[in-house]
Homo-oligomer: A and B are copies of this chain.
Amino acid sequence: MSQDGVDLETSLGYLLKEASSALRLAMEEVLRPLGMTVTRYSCLELLAQRPGLSNSELARGAFVTRQSMNVLLQALEREGLVIRPAEAPVGKVLPTRLTPRGRRSLEQASAAVRSVEVRMLSGLTGSEQAAALRILRGMIRSLRDGPRVTEP
């Protein structure tokens, strides 16, 4: 359409966003037929791997706010995919768990998502995948540690 590739395509930041966007799109595409969204899947997957997570912890893990995760959890509870105790066993934290139905629902979604991830990595060698792991972890660490002002 217009001239292409000035220098956006060499910016790792832009490429990162691009890759993340493409991944999300691909996930939405395979999850839609299952009546599932990315956030829903993320929540269920999180609960499968870390049973008893609280609303706030789930929110952080799925990269949304506590409020958003709360409405999602209410929906999931209404549909019988997760259960939360009516009252907090300790403090205010309501530990959430998957129901058998939730686990079953997750299974299909998980397979679909895994296929997307496989596709994403299909063009990469094993050592490239290992490098990607190390590189991404490094980026995250640098970004998280950074915001702090240069301490004395």
Residues of A at the B interface (CB closer than 8 Å) are 1-3, 6-13, 15-27, 29, 45-46, 49-50, 52-54, 57, 61, 63, 113, 116-117, 119-124, 128-129, 131-144, 146-147
Let me know if A142 and B123 touch, CB within 8 A. Answer: yes
Residues of B within 8 A of A7 (CB): 49
Contacts A128-B131, A135-B135, A146-B26; A140 near B19 (Cβ below 8 A)? yes
Let me know if A124 and B143 touch, CB within 8 A. Answer: no
In-complex Cβ contact of A138 among B13, B124, B147 (8 A): B124
Let me know if B50 and A143 touch, CB within 8 A. Answer: no
Closest 6 CB pairs of A and B: A20-B20, A22-B143, A6-B49, A15-B136, A119-B146, A123-B138
Residues of B within 8 A of A19 (CB): 16, 20, 136, 139-140, 143
Q: How far is the CA of A24 from the CA of B27 in the complex (A)?
A: 20
Could you say how many copies of this chain the assembly holds?
2
Let me know if B15 and A50 touch, CB within 8 A. Answer: no
Q: How far is the CA of A82 from the CA of B20 in the complex (A)?
A: 28
Residues of B within 8 A of A144 (CB): 22
Q: How far is the CA of A49 from the CA of B25 in the complex (A)?
A: 26
Q: How far is the CA of A6 from the CA of B137 in the complex (A)?
A: 16
Contacts A3-B50, A19-B16; A10 near B142 (Cβ below 8 A)? no
Residues of B within 8 A of A124 (CB): 135, 138-139
CB of A133, distance to nearest CB on chain B (Å): 6
